[in-house]
């Protein structure tokens, strides 16, 4: 009698566990799909803003870095004047589905940047492949895990931007990029939070 009762309790526990798993699993899967959907939408928005800049003669030569999170577009880099900084924000805000623009562009005091020479199709493909290599090299270092580093490659020259916790990660990311085969030069525009936010320390 006791063995039957024990078996019945085990069977009941298994049934209840199955019901719980059945109810909870689709929900977590659905949340995962929603997260992927948001990432894809943000990536598409980043591409759309970059395309809008490429189609504007005043913004095309500017080294503007674009990132998107939940529809909020962040602009970083150096531009030639206040008018260009304001124009970039206006053009980005006009792109469909952009909810907000965070403008971190810096105005350089020197002369306006000259337009970059056009790349051939082969150069563009090589730059894209090199970007993937640098991104992989950065991802394989545990000290850079969770950092937000943007990578742009133009004719084998790499520009790094984004946020890292401190100066050590900033220097490490720059060195890793320099050590990546095929990289001809590295421009460091990374924002080290621990250092840059407290210059007096």
Nearest to 64 by CA among 51, 48, 53: 53
CATH number at residue 175: 3.30.1340.30
Task: Between 21 and 76, name the one with better pLDDT.
Answer: 76
Q: Which of 67, 99, 116 is the last residue of a domain?
A: 116
Q: What is the pLDDT of residue 197?
A: 47
Tell whether 60 and 155 lie within a shared domain: no
Are 154 and 63 within 8 A, CB to CB? no
Tell whether 34 and 74 lie within a shared domain: yes
Tell whether 110 and 158 lie within a shared domain: no
Tell whether 111 and 12 lie within a shared domain: yes
Tell whether 82 and 4 lie within a shared domain: yes
How do residues 42-90 score in pLDDT, each as one tens digit? 888 888 898 888 888 888 888 888 999 888 999 998 888 899 999 999 9
Q: Which of 94, 116, 138 is the last residue of a domain?
A: 116
In-domain check, residue 46? yes
In-domain check, residue 41? yes
Number of domains in the chain: 2
Phi, psi of 33 (to 5 degrees): -65, -40
Tell whether 47 and 132 lie within a shared domain: no
How do residues 120-150 score in pLDDT, each as one tens digit? 888 888 998 999 999 889 888 988 888 889 9
CA gap 35, 33 in Å, rounded: 5
CA gap 26, 32 in Å, rounded: 10
Mean pLDDT of 6-32: 55
Are 147 and 163 within 8 A, CB to CB? yes
- Give the C-alpha distances (Å, rounded to integers) separating 159 from 31, 35, 72, 93: 34, 28, 22, 24
How do residues 86-122 score in pLDDT, each as one tens digit? 999 999 998 888 999 999 998 876 555 556 667 788 8
Domain that holds residue 98: 1-116
């Amino acid at each position: 009698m006791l063995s039957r009762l024990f078996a019945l309790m085990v069977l009941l526990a298994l049934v209840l566990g199955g019901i719980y798993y059945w109810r909870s699993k689709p929900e977590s899967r659905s949340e995962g799909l929603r997260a992927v959907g948001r990432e894809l939408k943000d990536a598409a928005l980043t591409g759309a803003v970059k395309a809008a800049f490429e189609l504007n003669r005043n913004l095309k030569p500017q080294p503007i870095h674009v990132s998107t999170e939940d529809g909020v577009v962040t602009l970083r880099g150096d531009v030639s004047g206040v008018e260009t900084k304001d124009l970039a924000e206006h053009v980005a805000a006009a792109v469909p589905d952009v909810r907000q623009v965070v403008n971190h562009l810096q105005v350089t005091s020197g002369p306006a940047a000259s337009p970059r020479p056009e790349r051939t199709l082969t150069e563009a493909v090589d730059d894209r492949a090199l970007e993937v290599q640098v991104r992989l090299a950065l991802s394989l270092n545990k000290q850079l895990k969770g950092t937000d580093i943007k990578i742009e490659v133009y004719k084998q020259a790499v520009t790094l931007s984004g946020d890292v916790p401190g100066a050590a990660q900033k220097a490490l990311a720059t060195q890793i990029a320099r050590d990546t085969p095929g990289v001809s030069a590295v421009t460091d525009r990374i924002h080290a939070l621990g250092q840059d936010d407290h210059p007096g320390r």
